[in-house]
Amino acid sequence: MIRISIDLMGGDFGPEVVIPGVAKALDRHPDVTFVLFGVKADCQALLDQYPKLKAKSVFHECELAVSMDEKPSQALRRGRYISTMWRSIEAVKAGEADVVVSAGNTGALMAMAKFCLRTMASIERPAIAAIWPTLKGESIVLDVGATIGADSQQLLDFALMGGAMARALFEIDRPTVGLLNVGVEEIKGQEEVREAGRMIREANLDTIDYFGFVEGNDLGKGTVDVVVTEGYTGNIALKTAEGTARQIAEYLRAAMSRTWLAKLGYVLAKSAFDLLREKLDPRKVNGGVFLGLNGIVIKSHGGTDAEGFAAAIDVGYDMARNGLTQKIENDLKKYHAKRLPPAGTEADISARVEEI
């Protein structure tokens, strides 16, 4: 039985979207129970409309909700211990839930998750991983906004965590991983990226298959299973892709309604256009995963609808069912075990003295 904690008050529309989304997810995953956190006055009437959901969930009343425009520091100071966001994360820490899903303020969610769950022992900074539609299916891109200006060691950590997520989500034994760069040649790009490539190659990791550098056009091609970059570049790439998808959809809509002949063509090719619309639908790949924390946190897009929020829950379900946290911990342990010299050797003694 998978237990999922839900922040009912998150997102642009709060319970009006979140509760129907949770109900949709329950239809897909009848083996799930939900732990719901919300402001009772805003949630009770909506919950009463979904008796099946009420029967498979526990509702906890909270004092306040974190607004979408609050600064992370303000949200942490004001909402710590009492907000729906904090308490839904805390349920994972307390072992009452396996994963938490929220459509709330991204900065506040990251701040609270990091403060409450803490980062894994060898992880300096967490990452947000997004599921990316490609010509071959789906891939994973990280970081898309958590860590701005990552160094080479952090990029290597992202590669390990992204690989673990690919194994959990796509059930691939050894996913291919590429570093996003301005070219595929080894001499191109920033020093941190070139150094990260060297470190990953020399680490000879058995949990991932390092492909090398990839470029921006490889994101849509699906050249690799996991694309690694730092948060500034990754966030711009994500927003650009979302905007381009909407732009193409608007172009098609305008073209198909311009003349009666175009409208007839649309009717004749409706099944093809329906398939294209589904491929371009951002709701299908909604749900960013916070990686590097001692617990699974899923961030839904704040402006999504019920179908999109249900998709974010789908991601959380897969991550919990396939043991994402344990996979990341195991991969990190393997990597760091290779880096340490055998205990008692001269190199080991020197390393320990240096640490002291």
* Predicted local distance difference test score (pLDDT) of residue 356: 39
Rounded CA separation 238/162 (Å): 16
* Predicted local distance difference test score (pLDDT) of residue 241: 83
* Predicted local distance difference test score (pLDDT) of residue 45: 93
* Predicted local distance difference test score (pLDDT) of residue 257: 79
Instruction: Annotate 141-175 with three-state secondary structure.
Output: EECCCCCCCCCHHHHHHHHHHHHHHHHHHHCCCCC
Please give the helix or strand (H or E) that residue 202 lies within, else none: helix 191-203
Rounded CA separation 22/312 (Å): 10
* Predicted local distance difference test score (pLDDT) of residue 314: 93
Rounded CA separation 9/354 (Å): 49
The rounded radius of gyration (Å) of the Cα atoms in the chain is 22
Q: Which residues face 6 on adjacent strands?
A: 36, 101
Please give the helix or strand (H or E) that residue 64 lies within, else none: none
Answer yes or no: are the C-beta atoms of 216 and 165 closer than 8 Å. no
Structure tokens at 122: 């060898």
In the chain, where does the domain assigned CATH 3.40.718.10 lie? 1-118+293-322, 127-284
**Spatial CB neighbours of 285, under 8 Å, sequence gap ≥ 6:** 130, 131, 132, 133, 138, 311
Rounded CA separation 64/38 (Å): 8
CATH of 1-118+293-322, one of 3.20.20.70, 3.30.1490.100, 3.40.718.10, 3.30.450.20: 3.40.718.10
Q: Which amino acid is at 185?
A: E
Provide the 8-state DSSP code for 322. Answer: T
* Predicted local distance difference test score (pLDDT) of residue 353: 39
Please tell me the CATH code under which domain 127-284 is placed. 3.40.718.10
Residue 50, CA distances (Å) to 10, 22, 32, 155 in order: 19, 10, 15, 44
Averaged in consecutive runs of 10 residues, what is the pLDDT profile of the chain (356 residues)? 94 94 95 95 93 94 91 89 94 96 93 93 88 88 87 92 90 92 85 92 89 92 94 88 80 79 74 68 80 94 92 93 88 77 51 43
Residue 15, CA distances (Å) to 52, 100, 313, 356 in order: 17, 16, 15, 52
